[in-house]
Amino acid sequence: MKLDISTKQIGDVSVVALTGRVLLGEESNSLRERIKSLICEGKKIVLNMANVTYIDSTGLGILVAAHVSAQKQGTALCLSDLGNKFHDLLQLTRLLTVFSVYATEADAISSFGVLAQSVTA
């Protein structure tokens, strides 16, 4: 299953919803470029991981690099809707302490001081 990436704007927050597998290859390059462009625009980013079925070390590397890049650019990136399997993986790799993680997309958006109800697609 290929990786589908969809983005919506809610105020100054970009919500990037991922569906599928985050693996080494063209799809992970697309994800890297999408996040990089949002960071360059100064957007705060929520990565909704609810529909991620698998992530390899390349995918984890992209997330860590994006987090570091966002911090350097003075913006932020957080994760939402991890699911048990992905949550356990982040805990095992000790990356759970690196990211801001929220149970829901709405909670993640609210953490930036934006009301999740003001959705603009």
Contact 81, 92 (CB under 8 A): no
Supply φ then ψ for residue 93, to 5 degrees.
Answer: -85, 0
Per-residue tens of pLDDT for the chain, all 121 residues: 689 999 999 988 999 999 999 999 888 899 999 999 999 999 999 999 999 999 999 999 999 999 999 999 999 999 999 988 899 999 999 999 999 999 999 999 999 987 655 444 4
- Supply the pLDDT for residue 2: 85
pTM to 2 decimals?
A: 0.89
- Supply the pLDDT for residue 115: 64
Please name each of the domains of the chain with its CATH number: 4-110 (3.30.750.24)
Q: Coil, helix or strand for 24?
A: coil
Question: Of all helices (H) and strands (E), which one includes residue 14?
Answer: strand 13-22
